[in-house]
Structure 1
Amino acid sequence: MIKVGVVKVGNIGISTIIDLILDERADRDDFHIRTISTGSKMGQNEVNDIIRRVKKIDVDLLLFISPNPGARQIKHAIEEITKLNLPLIIIGDKPGERAIPFMKEHDLGYVLIRADAMIGARREFLDATEMALFNSYVLNVLSITGVVRLLHEEIDKVLYSVKNKTPIVFPEIIVTAQKAVSYARFSNPYAEAKAIAAYQIAAQVSEMDVTACFRVSDPKEYIPLVVAAHEMMKSASMLAEDARELEKTNDTVTRTPHKRDGSIAFKSKLLHNYETEDEFEQWYSNRE
């Protein structure tokens, strides 16, 4: 049985479910997973503590998820963890793109999600309720546009390689809108277009929140900016929902659950039986 460790330093939208998407019904018997988290904080004390804890766990594969993997203290944590000589995949947001040379230098896999935007962390606006709502909007966008499927398929590939003791091909992915929807496997072109629009809107939220949180000091300027950014994410979430509803209307929602042995089943008709990947891909390529 393969042992997977998940290390969460700070929080991005996908952090809350990254350790769930590999075993969505809790019935896989080919691996088990353990999670270590610093919660919302990512300061030096938290990073030092997480390094100590990671060195004590017995795992075959590590997933490391954090905002901005290129930040000084996060990079330090990654450097220390690489000394364990374990397969390591970094999951981050758009600012992490600046750390790609560093990750390549250390032979790390990475998935960097542009639509997993920074939250509007201003005290005048952000309370626990607003935080939860924002993350629910982000998860809606990432789930429907294909990011969740991209993550579990790419992580599964590495997990299978570890399990079968075959050479590992790590993901090196910047998740653009087009990349995300290629995993969503939409059948309706209008649904796909709505999903692309949703992803692109979500990807713009981070720049607004960075400006509001770090570049503007007047509350009369930054409060409207963080509110606007959250409204954009809500609109992106609603557009993503529209895309899924179109697929439901056509009975073409793609479903890819894990079997007990970790393999994937495929189907796009709700009442049909599951198919093999080859059968599904043949149907998908001939659907018109």
Structure 2
Amino acid sequence: MVVKVGIAKLGNIASGVMAELLLDERADREDMETFMATSGTKLQENDIARVVDNMKAWAPDFCIVVSPNGVLPGPKGAREALAAAGIPCIVITDDITSKKDDFAALKESAFGYIIMKADSMIGARREFLDPKEMSDFNGNLVKVLALTGAFSKLQIALDEVIDQVKEGKKGADLVLPKIVMTSDKAVANEFTNPYAYAKGRAAYEIAQAVAGQNVKGCFMTKGHENYTPIVSSAHEMMRQAMLLCEEAREIEKAGDGVIRRPHKGDGTRVEKKELISKPW
């Protein structure tokens, strides 16, 4: 059986850059196929409607709806429209846990969710953010999410849904993930050296804190002479988080303890530590 996994990418967060790639890192899985429909950079109603129409036409076994601020009307409407068409949905978004009523409604719904707390908002001020700065920030953030283990946990959670479909479950019978990706969840079972673990955890905590600084700089501070240093400092924080992740990775390499979890062609997840060894 070939499982059809849809990815509805609305706007951009770093998790959306890698969502389907994490499921098929060598593009050789025979048990699944993916299709991505994107609204581009914006969350306009007509752009989102186009994504929903394309996804309905492809009719996946389940759909990942990835967006910033997943409780906004656009992303919320997209998953509701897909669900109404009989397509189970998993929401992947940045930290919405402070929006208590909206998050409570999501928790009580039939939708799955993975809240990536460190997938922080960018410093979107025109005086600071140009295409190069945007790319640099997202590159640093992708590395933080990858090397701390947050992407591994996301990938495994999605793999488990694929496995359920392969077992014959569908629609409302699927058990969808409900995960808030804290620092402790991200780094659990990802490091063999305690110092590397500590650096990875610190990196995730710093990346989480970036959102607060960028919200302050983008929405709560007036005057470019005041908000530009704030968003710039947030980007420096993300860079330091990335450097901590690189340090953690090098510690793991030095002890030949890097944990690798590749997929086999049939989708089976295997694992190894020693570089010169076969995954099992």
Q: Counterpart of 1:40 in 2: which secondary structure?
A: coil
Residue matched to 2:259: 254
Residue 15 of structure 1 deviates from its aligned partner by 1.0
Judging changes above 3 Å, is the alpha-carbon distance between structure 1 residues 214 and 120 closer, same or farther for their aligned structure 2 residues? same
Q: Aligned residue for 2:45? A: 44
Tell me the distance in 2 between the aligned counterparts of 1:104 and 1:199: 23
SS in 1 for 2:21: coil
Q: Which amino acid aligns with 1:173?
A: I
Describe the shift of the 1:33–1:40 C-alpha distance in structure 2 as closer, same or farther (beyond 3 A). Answer: same
Secondary structure of 1:33 counterpart: strand
Aligned to 2:175: 169
Structure 1 vs Structure 2: percent identity of aligned residues? 40
Q: Is the 8 A contact 1:67 1:96 kept in 2?
A: no
Counterparts of 1:7-156 in structure 2, within 5 Å, are: 7-95=8-96, 98=99, 99-156=102-159
Q: 1:51 to 1:97 in 2, by over 3 A?
A: farther
- Can you list the C-alpha shifts for 1:124-143, whole angstroms capped at 9, x where unaligned? 11111111000000011000
Residue 233 of structure 2 is aligned with which of 210, 228, 231?
228
**What secondary structure is seen at the aligned counterpart in 2 of 1:94?**
coil
Runs (5+) with no aligned partner, structure 1:
276-288
**RMSD, aligned α-carbons:** 1.3
Please list the CA deviations of residues 26-75 of structure 1 after superposition, one character each: whole Å capped at 9, or x if unmatched: 00000110000112111223222222222222211111100011112221
CA distance in 2, matches of 1:51, 1:26: 25
What's the CA shift for 1:96?
A: 5.7
Helix, strand or coil at the partner of 1:64:
strand
Could you list the per-position Cα deviations for residues 77-116 of structure 1 after superposition, in whole angstroms to 9, with x for gaps in the alignment? 2221210222211101102663332323431111001100
SS at match of 2:22: coil
Following superposition, the deviation at residue 2 of structure 1 comes to: 1.0
Structure 2 partner of 1:207: 212
Counterpart in the other structure of 1:281? none
Instruction: Give the partner amino acid of 1:6.
Output: I
Whether the 8 Å CA contact 2:65–2:92 is kept in 1: the answer is: yes
- Normalising to structure 2: TM-score of the pair? 0.94
Which whole-Å CA distance do the structure 2 matches of 1:97 and 1:113 have between them? 13
Asked whether the 8 Å contact 1:68–1:96 carries over to 2, the reply is: no
Aligned position for 1:264:
269
1:157 partner letter = E
1:131-170 deviations in whole A, cap 9, x for unaligned? Answer: 1000000011000000111011000000110111144321
The alignment of Structure 1 onto Structure 2 pairs a total of residues equal to 274
**In 1, Cα distance between the equivalents of 2:80 and 2:97?**
15
Moved over 4 A (4+): none
1:239 matched to 2:239: no
Q: What SS class does the counterpart of residue 55 from structure 1 fall into?
A: helix
CA contact (8 A) 2:82 2:88 kept: no
44-53 vs 193-202, greater mean Cα deviation:
44-53
TM-score normalised by length of structure 1: 0.92
Higher alpha-carbon deviation: 86-95 or 130-139: 86-95
Unaligned runs of 5+ in 2: none
Amino acid at match of 1:162: V
Matched residue type, 1:26: A
